[in-house]
Amino acid sequence: MKNVLRELRKARGLSQAELAETIEVSRQTIIAIEADKYDPSLPMAYRLAAFFAVPVEDLFLNPWR
């Protein structure tokens, strides 16, 4: 699923490792999501959205809309 995680992360000045440590996931997971290789679960999507204080659909772009 296309997303703007990389852009939001960079806007916060965070490395992938720092973001991973902060929200308690592996760095590999952040890399895979940013590269659109894996879709996270809804809880993780909401967790990421809450961290960046944006609605989920601003982070993960809804392809059916």
Partner 1 sequence: MSGLNYKTKIQLAHGLAAGGAIVTGLAAARIAQASAPGENLGLILPLLLIVAGLGCVSTLPWWRSIDDVQRQGHLVSWFWGSMAGAWVLIMAFVAVFGRTSDLARGAGALYVAQGVGFCCAYLIWRWRGRDSGE
Q: Is 63 in the site for partner 1 (CB under 8 A)?
A: no
Phi, psi of 60 (to 5 degrees): -110, 115
Q: Which region among 1-9, 25-33, 49-57 touches partner 1 (by CB under 8 A)?
A: 25-33
| AA identity, residue 48 | L
Q: Is 59 in the site for partner 1 (CB under 8 A)?
A: no
Burial degree of 47 (CB within 10 A; 0-12, 13-18, 19+): middle
Q: Is 2 in the site for partner 1 (CB under 8 A)?
A: no
Binding site for partner 1 (CB under 8 A): 20-21, 24-26, 28-29, 32-33, 38, 40-41, 43-44
